[in-house]
Chains A and B, each alone.
Chain A
């Protein structure tokens, strides 16, 4: 399905590739031209263009009524966005670093996520909450988390985590058009900005026309027969690197990119594990009560017989250190994924 989309889309052009941030902005600009109710608010999103280039250039085209800088009060502006959504607008509100969600937890967890349910369906909250996530650039414990599991844990929000420019654009179109609240988590390291270099993978061909990627459709970024690696975000690229290393030793790794955590495409994961028998789950979030445990449990519940070995790679349950060597130690690297795949193989 996903491959079919790509083939159709890439046929429309030759040679153009975009960074993830530009692909996101292209989708936002398209939706803003189509629908006057779409607007963007957040800290430093207007004149500065977003500190991770998430809104670069939008102010010039759409002006200050629709690209709004806000004071540093997540409580106020996320609450305002929820209210605007309930009144029929389609706000996109940026939480500059996901780590700051705590000050607006009531607006996110009790309002954005629950108001549709608690109103008996009499209001929708068609809002996108964007947030920069991720470490690996030494920004310390309050600016480096991914918190995927925190948002995926509580019901009522769809949770999107793109890993490439192609996916980022299609998922953003889908997020803005969705009538439910969507949390769209973009990894800083994938955005393709000069002072924070990306790995080679996230810059991809991106069609100029609009297209959507449905939520709940994981993408197999690499086919393989021996071990299934399930991951998301930045670690898709580290898993692909690990798979390339392991291929030299004759270990054929399949890399499943979840793309959305809510809804979760358990069918693709289970089908892959049924084929390979070996499951490695890689996450940049904390190990306990998180994505790795959830994926493994969902496979074990439905297909325990398929499982020959399981390994998980995630952050240990510690605040993310500031010091570069210490951060490198706790954030899973390519070597850690290679070791986990070997361990899973060795359990045979």
Chain B
């Protein structure tokens, strides 16, 4: 959604129906306006490790997020949070994210981590790679815990990568738009995969590179980056 006026109206309308709590706090920040220069916008790169791909039946295991102020990553705000799992973790998924039942048992309640994440997101644009997954899980968790989905502006680094390839009418394979392929393309260091924080940082770095490449000296607006 790129229309500032409509989105703002929706935010104001929703806030009346929301109970006090983290989600309402998050709503109380005006959403970044789409016609702002992208460098005057704040972002939060987010990555979730989950037990699967379906928010209805799978659960979140960990959050990793990194704030980006315009064209700078601020590592000071980088966070990695483990979530206490409600159900045992399947062996298949443990192989990928390497979070074991024992570790997950040491995690915090989802509600606490989600609340902190929403706080960090307040006033910022969410940046994620293949954002549908993160959005789906955030929405499901918020609905379940706070009765309402969050209202967010989103930049999807995967969509940006596809768009730039398609604009150049270049054929590509799914592997070419994976996070690690993009990092290599932009001469970025490869951080270990499948840790929520390092993936969030990978995403943030790819986002810096993508926006730097789109920035041709003419005004580049948040609108041009939004999904």
Q: Do A and B assemble together?
A: no
Q: Which residues of B are interface residues toward A (Cβ below 8 A)?
A: none
